[in-house]
Each structure stands twice: as C-alpha cells, then as structure tokens.
Structure 1
Amino acid sequence: MTVPPLPATRASMLHDSLVMTGRTLRVTLRYPAVLFIAIVFPVILLLLLTASFATIVLPGQSYSAYVDFSLPLFAVMGVLFSTLGTAAAMLNDLQAGFDARLRTMPISASAPLIGRIAADAVRNLITLVLVVAVGTVVGFRFTTDPASIAGFFLLPLVFAVGIVWLVLAAAVRARSAESVTAGLNAAFLVASFLSTGMVPLADLPSWAQPIAAANPLSLLVDAMRVLAHGGELARPLLGTVAWAVGLTVVFGPLAVLGYRHRRSAGQPAR
C-alpha cells in the first residue's frame, strides 16, 4: 500500500512553486512559435497598422498619436498569446506523464499550477516591456505619473490571471497542444480586432459597436490609455478587474478539477 506524502508546509509550497516556475520558464524556450506569436507578432502588427491606418483613424494627427492610441491593444495581444505557451506546456506535461510522476514526490500538490501561473506572469511582464520599448522607438510616450505608469503594466497582468485560468481550463480538456493553441489563437484574434483597440468605437461598423462595447479587451485598453495619458479611469478599471475576477471564479475551479482528473488518469481527455 502506497503511503501518501505528508502535506507540504507553506515554506515548502513556496519553494516548490518557485522551482516549478523556473522549470516552466525554461520549457517555454522549447516553443519558439509561441514566443514569436506572443512578442514578435504584436510588434509587427503595431508597426504595419501604424504605417497603414494612422492617418485614416486619426486624420490630421501624427503617427505617434496613433501609436499612443493603439499600443495598449498590441501589448495586450502579446499577453494573450503568451498564455498559449502555458496551455501547450501543461498539456504536454500531462500527456507525457510528467505531472503523474510529480505525484510520487513529496512536493506541494498545488505547486505545478502555481508555478505555471507565476511563470505566465513573468513572461507577460517581459512581453509588455518589449512591446512598449518598440512603441517608444516609434513615438509612444507616457504623460502621466509613475504610479499610473506602474498601473499600466500591472493591470494587464491582473487581467491575465483570469485569462490563464480560462486557458488552463481549456487545455486540460483538449486532446492535443496544437488543437488548444489553434482554437485559442483564433478566439484571441477575433476578440482583439472586435475591440476599440485599433479604431474608436464610433468609427466601427454599426453591427460591431455593441460587440466592441461589451468586449473586455476594450475596457482593458481604455484603462491602459488612461493610465498612460490621463482621463477618467474608474469605469474601465473596475470593469477590467471585474472581468478578471469573474474569469477566475468561473474557470479557476474548472481548471483545477480538470487538472486533477487528467493528472490522476495520466492519459489524454476523451
């Protein structure tokens, strides 16, 4: 009869989670396609769409004005696509039996999930910094105080916590990493383009305006614009936080239950 390992202390849970975070970050390097989509793709879109649409979307204004307007969306797209690496890595670990092997070791049961979420936050922050750095080269500028600038980087990370739970809930029910990343990639692209990130709400087609107004990405990019350049913050900020909390409450338990089931079964979902 196998004796289950003793419950991990808080100190050991923190240590185990940090170890899993480092391991997850290293595994990310095995998915160059995901890194390309998360970092290079948003930067390419930023440069191409600025050159193509700046004078159309904001007639009479400079290219840098459009960069100030649109950069929050491209930074958020990088964050969204970064979570695809989390989904692919976790699903591959489950199918390869890595997580099942972890069950035989005296580590915290929550460490693998915590480590993946923490690693996702680190990747997201790196993505945000790189996209903003490129944006700064082509004209993006902050015009607010340091606290607001810090909020500009923090708010997408808060929103990403809800998104990563959604991604993990989808991953534990998928048959392959390719299927889950392809499906989520398409969903994230549609959500990005049907938002107020590239075009003001009033300039969107009439059929798209209700969709964009209800899109949580619109709230997030609006809040980031205010944090970068000033304005009324309460509505988009509270809306973004509410979506992050709602996604966590709904998909967090689904991800945990699905993860436990897949880890116990040690085989792909059917």
Structure 2
Amino acid sequence: MTTNTAARPEFFRDAALLAGRAVRETFRSPATIVLGSFFPLVMLLAMTLGFADVVLPGRGYAGYVNYSLPLFIVMGVVFAALNTAVATYRDLHGGMDARLRTVAIARSAPLLGRVGADAVRNLATTVLVFLLGFALGFRFAAGPLAILGFFLLPVVFGFGIAWFMVAIAMRAKSAETAISLVNVLLLVLSFLSTGFAPKGSLAGWAEPIAAVNPLSSAIDAMRGLAHGGELTGPLLATLAWTVALTAVFGAVAVSAYRSRGERRSG
C-alpha cells in the first residue's frame, strides 16, 4: 500500500467507493436508519405531548415543536453517530480492514469513506425527524436558502462528530466500549443545552455549560435558519466546532489507523 496518501488523486475516488459500499449496506436495511432515529423520535413525541404547555405555556404543540425540533434533529445525528463507532470497530476487528490492506487503495480512504457514508445517513435521519416534527406542527418561516441550510447544517456538524466517533473506535477495547464511552456524554450535552428550554430558564450553574455546548450552537443556528432571529454567532460557532472536531479527531484517527497498519506489517 502506498505511503503517500495525500498526494494520490485516487484518494478521494477510493474513499467515494468505500463510502458507496457503506451507504449500500445501510440502505439494504432501512431499519438501521429508523432504529438509529428511534430515540430522538420518541423523545420528540413524548416531550411535545407531555411538556409543551410546561415549557412554553399557551403556545400549544406546534409552538413547542417549532422551538424544539432542531434539538431532536441534532440528537438524531449525534446518537446515530454511535453506529459510526461500532461499524468502524467491526471493520477493524472483523476482517474487513485486513482485506482492504491487501489491495492498492489510499491508506486513509477507509476512514474518510466511513465518515462520508455517515453524512448520507445523517441527511436521512434529519429528514425522518423533520417529517414527524412537520406532522406535529413544525413550519418554516424562512426562504429557500435558509431552509436548505437547515437541512445541511446538521449534516455538516455530524461530519465533525463522526470523526470523534472514529477516533474513539480506534482506541476502544470492544464495540460496547465504543458506545459506552460517549453515550453518557451525549446525553449530558443534550440535556445541558438550549434545546429543551431557553437558556434563561436553566439553573444558574447550567447556563454557562449550555452557552459553550456545541449542541447549543447547532440548535440555535438551526432555529435562526428556520424562523429568523440570531444566526451569525451560532452558525460561526457550529462551523468552528465542526472544523475543530474534524482537525483534532481526524488527525488522531488517521494517526492511529496508520500506526495500526505499521504494527500489522511489522
């Protein structure tokens, strides 16, 4: 296998081929997407029916869904990314990675292919959660470009989250460890965000956490795209988090993957 991955123009072709393989695996079993979205779908339904009048009195189900839907879309993306860690771990330890290392493909293409396939899955998850929100009363109050941004932003944010999950899988001792390491963290970030309720209604100690929470940035940016209001700050913060997650954990994942290959060849 070549050692000059970055210089090869075939790198992106190899990654695209492997992403296509992963996408086909996903859509051969549509239940994978549905099950991956099950938690945010149930949460959206339960929170809307049970707490709409408590969180936003007098605004009804539609008012609460218009406020909270971005949270459940972001939750769908970040929790579906747990499958990224599991799939990466299984590729590494189930024989797929060993087979890939016997053919002439760019060294890091399997990782980029996995993350690229997740972007397709994240778009499907976003649409699925949106459809339930629409049925419960969610409506846009923005133009076509903002609506497009509403659907694309969680996919972009999910790209950074996916690299975080791949890096976890590279270091995990088991597929279960790959999930348990981050499951609690994702739950904490989801609840200590501006998703369920406005920041001003959170406990005093939780407000600073919500303010710097990357999920809060993505949620607030999606609200701005859907209904107007503050957009620039949350959007820039979301993009900054995406770049940081990709740069840091992408480098960690690629370095670990290359070290793994060197140990195997040695």
Q: Which TM-score applies when normalising by structure 2?
A: 0.91
Q: Residue 218 of structure 1: CA displacement? A: 0.7
1:240/1:173 CA distance change after superposition, 3 Å:
same
Query: Alpha-carbon deviation of 1:117?
Result: 1.0
Residue 75 of structure 1 corresponds to 73
How large is the RMSD of aligned CA atoms in angstroms? Answer: 2.1
What is the correspondence of 1:235-250 to structure 2 with a 5 Å cutoff? 235-250=233-248
Residues of 1 paired with 2:194 and 2:109: CA distance?
A: 37
Q: Which structure 1 residue ranges, 4+ long, deviate > 6 Å from structure 2?
A: 29-34
**1:105 aligned residue:** 103
Partner of 1:24: 22
Deviation at 1:244, TM superposition (A): 0.9
Paired residue for 1:200? 198
Q: Tell me how far 1:34 sits from its aligned partner.
A: 6.4
Partners in 1 of 2:263 and 2:34 — Cα distance? 33
Cα distance in 2 for partners of 1:37, 1:264 equals 37
Aligned residue in 1 for 2:119: 121
Tell me the SS of whatever aligns to 2:54.
helix
The percent of aligned pairs where both chains have the same amino acid is 52
Distance in 2 (CA, whole Å) between partners of 1:6 and 1:211 is 42
Report how far residue 213 of structure 1 moved: 1.2
* TM-score relative to the length of structure 1: 0.90
- What aligned pairs does 1:247-266 form with structure 2 within 5 A after superposition? 247-266=245-264
Q: Which amino acid aligns with 2:68?
A: S
User: 1:209 corresponds to which residue?
Assistant: 207
Structure 2 residues without counterparts, runs of 5 or longer: none
- Name the structure 1 match of 2:42: 44
Give the whole-Å Cα distance in 2 for the aligned partners of 1:254 and 1:33: 31
The letter of the residue matching 1:146 is P
- Name the residue aligned to 1:228: 226
Give the corresponding residue for 2:11. 13
Cα distance change on mapping 1:88 and 1:28 into 2, 3 Å: farther
1:160 aligns with 2:158: yes
CA displacement, residues 150-176 of structure 1 (integer Å, 9 cap, x when unaligned): 111111122112111111111100011
Paired AA for residue 196 in structure 1: T
Structure 1 counterpart of 2:149, one-letter code: G
Aligned position for 2:128: 130
The residue type equivalent to 1:136 in the other structure is F
